[in-house]
Amino acid sequence: MSIGKLTGVTVVGPQSLSLVWDDGGSAKIDLAALIAARANLSLLSDPQEFALVKASADGWSVEWPCGIDFGTAQLRRWADEQSGKIMPAKDFRHWMDRHGLSLNTAADALGLSRRTIAYYVSGEQPVPKTVMLATEGYDHRRAA
């Protein structure tokens, strides 16, 4: 999937943004948990600093005067995770751990390659909604 450039960014909450891409995509994203979890982002916990966000001149990131920035691909991924369009890698890993699955057994359970599972676990590739739904189906079958 091609990720478009940002055409707009607006603060819509204490640590939330509304984003618009030139490919027609738009999303709201809450960065509070990310900011709280990473010491190097602590400057963004100040509402006055957070409010200074803007799209970069080339449209490929959002940036703050304090030097923090996030690229459009990562922003889209976070937005898709928060909206339920894709599964967060940590949730996929938790699913595997909960069922005691290795890369090989998870691949067998989902009908995917071991390499694909490794990409999902590492976060190198997003976990698509179809795989998220397959994990839910797996849980349901195991519970029945």
Tens of pLDDT along the chain (144 residues) come to 457 899 999 999 999 999 999 988 899 999 999 999 999 999 999 999 999 999 999 999 999 999 999 999 899 999 999 998 899 999 999 999 999 999 999 999 999 999 999 999 998 888 999 999 999 999 998 887
pLDDT at residue number 118: 96
Question: So what's the pLDDT on residue 143?
Answer: 85
pLDDT at res. 2: 58
What sign does the CA torsion over 136, 138, 141, 144 have? negative
Task: Enter the pTM of the model.
Answer: 0.77
- Please say whether the beta carbons of 39 and 21 come within 8 A: no
- Could you give the angle at which helices 129-143 and 89-99 cross, rounded to 10 degrees? 20
Do 37 and 106 belong together in one domain? no
Residue written as token pair 């509070």? 32
Is 1 inside any structural domain? no
Quote the pLDDT of residue 124: 86
Residues 31 and 76 reside in one and the same domain? yes
Residue 78 and residue 36 share a domain: yes
* Domain-located, residue 47: yes
Residues with Cβ within 8 Å of 100's Cβ and at least 6 positions away in sequence, in order, are: none
Segments forming the whole domain that contains residue 74: 6-83
CB neighbour list of residue 83: distance below 8 Å, 6 or more residues apart:
27
